[in-house]
Amino acid sequence: MRILLTGCCGQLGQELRSRLMPLGHLFATDHQTPASDRKIFPLDLTERGSMLRILDKINPDIIVNTAAWTGVDTAETNKQKAHQINVVAPHRMAEWAAANNSLLFHYSTDYVFGGDSKKPWQETDSTVPVSEYGQSKLAGEEAIINSGCQYIILRTSWVYSSHSKNFVRTMLQLAERRKELQVVDDQLGCPTMAANVADVTVQIIQQLNAVEDPKLAGIYHYTDNKALSWCGFAERIFTKAVSIGLLKKAPDILPVDSSVFQSPASRPAYSVLNCKKITANFGVRQRSFEQALDVCLAEILSNQER
């Protein structure tokens, strides 16, 4: 099996790279290729010719597309670039996949929803994104669906890891410098460790290879198993970080409304995802948020001690 992984240097891409290697012949690509790693191929998703040449040369059985414009606020002022990466690029991959009988595994977001629900969002619920980022990710989904290719679109939320830029690492950095932090308390979602999303991806790919049932294609939700506000998430980070010696002392947390920060982009107030479909079709069960955060913080501590 030949697998093309895009965005391999990103938060999710780094987790997927090692996990996809045992499944077949992996070709890892990114728009920026580290000089120290010659096994990563350069791929500019904004250039149609470059993408098609890579696809034709590699001829992958599966395209795993983690590349995305993920800056929620910066998407408001970089609409064209966000559209190119989140809509045009996956559309081109999907068209190639449809023409070459390949599977496209693509990632999307809880931000495709409007946030006005009181119960976890199902895959079939109406999508009304409140930001340019959410709109671009939804348009990318629609482009893939309309291409006619076989696809899995996996929506997830609030992804973090022990590396890359994310909420956990940002909170720890701020805690080292400040005694008091204001953290948003009126947005509810499910923090999800990137490694768990990668594990779920591998589990689904293995089952699709074993079963080869086209009816399993579609949109799925996966998050870890706890719904929290950003404020609640920060509290858990600090409590656990202090307990393992990663922080000497937790800062005081002041819960605030999102209006306090005046961000360029709106966020959904409620973006908890219902994950029953992925359990029913693939046997995937939500991982423990508490255990995942423990693992992440332990990795950060270990990296610091090296």
Q: What are the C-alpha distances in Å from 115 to residues 39, 121, 220? A: 41, 9, 18
Q: What's the CA gap between 149 and 202, in Å, rounded?
A: 20
Q: What's the CA gap between 11 and 196, in Å, rounded?
A: 12
Q: What single DSSP character describes residue 165? A: S
Q: What are the C-alpha distances in Å from 80 to residues 69, 88, 133, 207? A: 11, 10, 11, 37
Q: What's the CA gap between 137 and 108, in Å, rounded?
A: 6
Q: What are the C-alpha distances in Å from 299 to residues 268, 278, 294, 303? A: 30, 28, 9, 6
Query: In this structure, are strands 218-221 and 150-156 parallel, antiparallel, or unpaired?
Result: parallel
Nearest in space to 225 (alpha carbons), one of 198, 195, 192, 200:
192
The residue from 107, 133, 220, 222 that is catalytic is 133
Q: What single DSSP character describes residue 88? A: I
Outline where 44-182 has alpha helix (H).
48-58, 74-77, 79-83, 89-99, 132-147, 167-177
Does the active-site annotation cover 270? Answer: no
Q: What's the CA gap between 247 and 267, in Å, rounded?
A: 29
Q: What's the CA gap between 257 and 149, in Å, rounded?
A: 42
Give me 119's structure tokens: 């119960």
Give me 286's structure tokens: 């939500």
Residue pair 237/142 in contact by the 8 Å Cβ criterion: no
Active-site annotation, residues: 133
